[in-house]
Amino acid sequence: MSVISQNFGIERVLRELSAAWAIARKDMRTYYLKPNIIVSGILFPLFMFLAFAIGKNAPPGTLIPGLIAITLLFSASSIEPVSIPIERRVKTFDRLLSAPISLHSLVFGESLSGFLYSLGIACLPLVIGVILFSTSIVYALTLVVAMALTAFCFATLGTLFAAYPTENVGEVMSMLNTVRLPLIFISGVFIPISAMPQIGQEIAFFSPLTYGNDMIEYAYTGTSLFSPLLDILALLIFILIFQFVANRLYKKFNT
């Protein structure tokens, strides 16, 4: 490969990344404070968690990893299912589709905004755990990696569902919730995977939340069902699958 084409390739990648970052920043400014995103991304996981935690006799501090996991799931996957149908309705999505950027950058940029939102929101239970319940973190770096991968995985899942060609936020949210809600019950967040029936344990392997939750649990307690490396690998595979499928769906439905 010649130096010129190498430079052209790098320049092109930088341009695409810059455009993806612009899309993410636009979403931050425009959608982070929308009421339906606050409800779906912050209040919904909080109340869901309280509903399960109140009946348990476990010390509150031990519930923090689970709260972080479901916060990441709900907040990361809530931005695009709201923003993209709205943008379709007001036709600003046509701007993105007609810009000189690839669909990969569009999907990546949209996912990036959900990712950053989710990381910010998930810091709340983390800080509450440390300050109020003195919940100790055994492996801080592992926690950062786990949160980042889980957040990006679910942000991409939200972007994927938002590919469905509708201008109605409720339609996308309904479809997404048929996937998100069962994930909570089959991924070891409230019920340990080892305590689930055989069929439940087998289904759990197909849930990205299983690996995210497992790795967060490891970062807090030092014990986990799988090796953290396996969790990382599984989450990366889910991210690649979701990104690939999202790209195909945007191409199919939006062009």
Partner 1 sequence: MFAIEVNDLTKIFGTLVAINKLNFSVNEGETFGFLGPNGAGKTTTIRILTGITQPTSGTAKIFGYDIQNEIISARQSIGIVHETSNVYDDLTAWQNMIFTAELYHVNKAEREKKSKELLEIFGLFERKDNKAHEFSKGMKRRLTLAMGLVNSPKLLFLDEPTSGLDVQSNLIIRDVVADLTQKGVTVFLTTHNIEEANVMCDRVAIINKGQIAAIDAPEQLKKTIESVQSVEVAFDKRGLEQMDELRKLPFVNEARKEGDKIKLYTEDPSAIIEEVMTYAKQKNLKIISISTLGPSLEDVFIKLTGLKARVGAAYVSD
Contacting positions for partner 1 (CB under 8 A): 15, 18-19, 22-23, 25-26, 29-30, 90-92, 94-102, 254-255
Q: Which is nearer to partner 1, 56 or 251 (CB)?
A: 251
Q: How far is the CB of 34 from partner 1 (least distance, A)?
A: 9
Q: Which is nearer to partner 1, 90 or 131 (CB)?
A: 90
Q: Which of 144, 143, 154, 156 is nearest to 216 (CA)?
A: 143
Q: How far is the CB of 239 from partner 1 (least distance, A)?
A: 24
Q: How far is the CB of 12 from partner 1 (least distance, A)?
A: 9
Q: Which is nearer to partner 1, 56 or 95 (CB)?
A: 95
Q: Which is nearer to partner 1, 26 or 180 (CB)?
A: 26
Q: How far is the CB of 27 from partner 1 (least distance, A)?
A: 10
- Note the Cα 116 to chain centre separation in Å: 9
